[in-house]
């Protein structure tokens, strides 16, 4: 069973100096997916979905904390 480190791709993409660099990182991830056998691709998809759900939840929580902290009563 493989563990895919989506966080490293995510951080590299966030810190990319240009849209071209971000596209190259995205292509690197696509190439990794394409190189996997079907069973590994299914695992890749599951792990990617889990990462995205957790990341979106974290972002929502951060947003709500910031939004709540800036409201005037």
Q: What is the pLDDT of residues 7-64, one digit of tens each?
A: 999 999 999 999 999 999 999 999 999 999 999 999 999 999 999 999 888 777 777 7
pTM: 0.73
Q: How many domains does one find in the chain?
A: 1
Q: Give which of 34, 45, 63, 47 is closest to 3, Cα–Cα.
A: 47
Report whether pLDDT(69) > 70: no
- Per the CB < 8 A criterion, the answer to whether 28 and 9 are in contact is yes
Tell me, yes or no, whether 1 lies in a domain. Answer: no
Report H helices in 1-73: 6-14, 19-35, 38-70
pLDDT at 70: 58
Q: How many CB atoms lie within 10 A of CB 4?
A: 19
- Report the alpha-carbon distance of residue 58 to residue 6 in Å, rounded: 15
Residue span of the structural domain in which 12 resides: 6-70
């Amino acid at each position: 069973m493989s563990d895919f480190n989506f966080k490293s791709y995510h951080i590299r993409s966030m810190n990319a100096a240009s849209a071209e660099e971000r596209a190259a990182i995205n292509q690197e991830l696509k190439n990794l997916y394409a190189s996997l056998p079907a069973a590994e691709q299914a695992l890749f998809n599951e792990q990617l979905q889990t990462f995205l759900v957790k990341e979106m939840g974290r972002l929502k929580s951060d947003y709500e904390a910031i939004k709540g902290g800036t409201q005037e009563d």
